[in-house]
Chain A
Amino acid sequence: MGMTRSEHILARSSGKARVAPGDMVVGKADVIMGNDITTSLTVRILDANGITQFADPDKVFIVMSHFVPAKDIASAAMAKTCRDFARQYNIKHYFEAGQGGIEHALLPDEGYVVPGDLVLGADSHSCTYGGVNTFATGIGSTDLAAAWTTGELWLRVPETIKIVFNGVPKSPWVSGKDVVLFLISQLGDDGALYQAQEFHGEGTQHLSVEGRLTIANMAIEGGAKNSIFPCDDKTLAYEAGRAKRDFQGVEADADAAYAAVHEFDISNLEPQVAFPHLPSNCKSVSQAMQEKVAIDQVFIGSCTNAKLEDLRIAAKILDGHQLAKWTRGVVIPASHNIYMQALDEGLISIFAKAGFAVAEGTCGPCLGGYMGVIGAGERMLSTSNRNFKGRTGDVRGETYLASPAVAAASAITGFITDPGEVAPADTAAALTQFTE
């Protein structure tokens, strides 16, 4: 019996010829990452255990992203814990606030994670890196302490579910975000619990790598352990000029065993909107428009949807427009490099002229941090990944999830809006995430 993509990486990283679902393996990781929140806890755990030696300090990544630049005194203390630690051990891959960005945008965009890697990240959205053919999964702070100490970690080999997207969306406004919201609405918030998702099919082939990263990012919203895309021509083109190491991608064997196969025809998919308070609570944008949902704040940001492609799509729609009178706008490009590219391309100026507050390289309101926390009775339309009650601010607030295109269109009208209503079709054709 052959192996799936995930099984190949777990076998390789644990030095085994083959592995099967349910096996416990000890995997040697290529990148072991913590953010400001999880690292500060890990430092406490390392101190408590008197650990001062690390297996491979160059595999240690610390990305300051959540509450930085510090939002208050307690966050400043937390950030300092991470900074002092990084300095004490002269950690090469330490990314200061304002220089790195959100880890899940930074690491693939700048080629720190590459196809075939085993990546352990102390942040649940570490599954994002599966968009570039890695086995990447989220861990906690004790796991992070253990993995930094030993260079490896115990992992249960998950069952794999194969997800096949047939067809290519006819609507040019459909992006990776719409596909993943649709997928979660079909499989449920725990539909892939403990499992690996492996993506196949024509829809997958045609989707840009940034779109794939968005889908992989939200694997955790379906409960999955990880999510993995192929290493194909699109991946190779993306890695050219980015990859910081040589790599060897993986593909599933023809006789690999899957716990389930789910096929979806996405050719007629419409842009999707997740209503409060679960990502699975999706409606198509046309249905959402009928409900005339007024939006107090539009947030274009987060590790899900603030990469360069996302910003280009949103800016193109917003170009020459203003935010609706009673709608606030916040844009936070996901990394410092993305911010600089957006600056060079004139995207930042479009957002600023439209009336958006623009920050950079932080999670911001995605987790109710700062730069746009919502109040009681307020509604936010966000390009992020979670709309749990209370996550983005007051428990009496509401968060809707959508793509950058829907967010930009809604910013103009003040209501949840189909991008096709405000932007010309040729704009869409030039921006689609589904290409040859």
Chain B
Amino acid sequence: MAQPQPKVYRYGRDINTDLILPARYMMFNEPEDLAKHCMEDLDGDFLPTVRYGDVVVGEENFGSGSSREHAPMALKASGIVAVIASSFARIFFRNAINIGLPVLELPEAVADFRHGDPISLDIEEGIVKNTRSGNTFQAKPYPKEIMDIIRADGLMNLIKQQRIAQG
């Protein structure tokens, strides 16, 4: 049976980390436990419908608020493979990169997507396609330092590789 095409969850601006993963669940550290509460205060339809490969699209200041890495962890563990936003709060951006959840700053794509639109993604190339509208968007390349982290599949892996290289 063909897999359903990945779809977009489209939200507004200032989607803060309390909405992505409420503080009341921060005693949990396991990704699966966090995934059970992802977005529950924001969107009651998220958890029942999210599937691996889906993408969250937000407007400005996505991931604002606390430094909790639990927020990108919860998104990743619930099946989200990338977040596209007009802009990101900086700690969320760092955390997502550090755990290997791609985050793309693409205001034009954000303007084009509606809730539920089918999406196809090429993370390596930074290419996003909205299958409904037929429009394709190209994200700006990451700076080298960030690309190194993504290629190593996270900051801790990069550090371990560097340590081995240094002997």
* A contacts, CB < 8 Å to B: 24, 37-38, 40-41, 44-45, 48-49, 51, 66-67, 72, 74-75, 77-78, 81, 122-124, 126, 138-143, 145-146, 149-150, 154, 156, 189-190, 193-194, 220, 223, 225, 278, 367-369, 386, 388-391, 395
Contacts and interface: CB of A to CB of B under 8 A. Distances in A.
A367 B27 contact: no
Contact of A143 (B61, B87, B94, B145): B94
Given A139-B94, A142-B99, A193-B90, A368 B69 contact: no
A24 B144 CA distance: 9
A77 B28 CA distance: 9
B160 interface: yes
B69 A142 contact: yes
A368 B23 CA distance: 7
A40 B156 CA distance: 16
B123 interface: no
User: For chain A, what secondary structure do more than half of its interface residues adopt (helix, strand, loop), or is it mixed?
Assistant: mixed
B67 A142 contact: no
A140 B156 contact: no
A223 B14 CA distance: 10
A124 B67 contact: yes
19 contacts: A37-B26, A41-B69, A45-B156, A49-B156, A66-B26, A78-B29, A138-B91, A140-B68, A140-B98, A143-B94, A143-B155, A146-B98, A156-B143, A189-B14, A190-B60, A223-B64, A223-B89, A368-B23, A386-B65
B25 to A, nearest CB: 9
Interface string B152-167: 0011110110000000
A337 B64 CA distance: 31
Contact of A123 (B14, B67, B99, B160): B67
- List of 3 A-B pairs having minimum Cβ-Cβ separation, nearest first: A140-B95, A74-B27, A142-B98
B145 A190 contact: no
Interface string B1-30: 000000000000010101100111011110
B18 A390 contact: yes
B112 interface: no
Interface residues of B, number: 38
A40 B34 CA distance: 14
Contacts of A140: 67-69, 91, 94-95, 98
A173 B160 CA distance: 53
Contacts of B157: 49
Interface in B43-81: 60-61, 64-70
Given A40-B29, A367-B23, A190 B14 contact: yes
Nearest to A34: B67
Interface string B93-107: 011001100000000
A145 B98 CA distance: 11
Contact of A124 (B41, B65, B145): B65
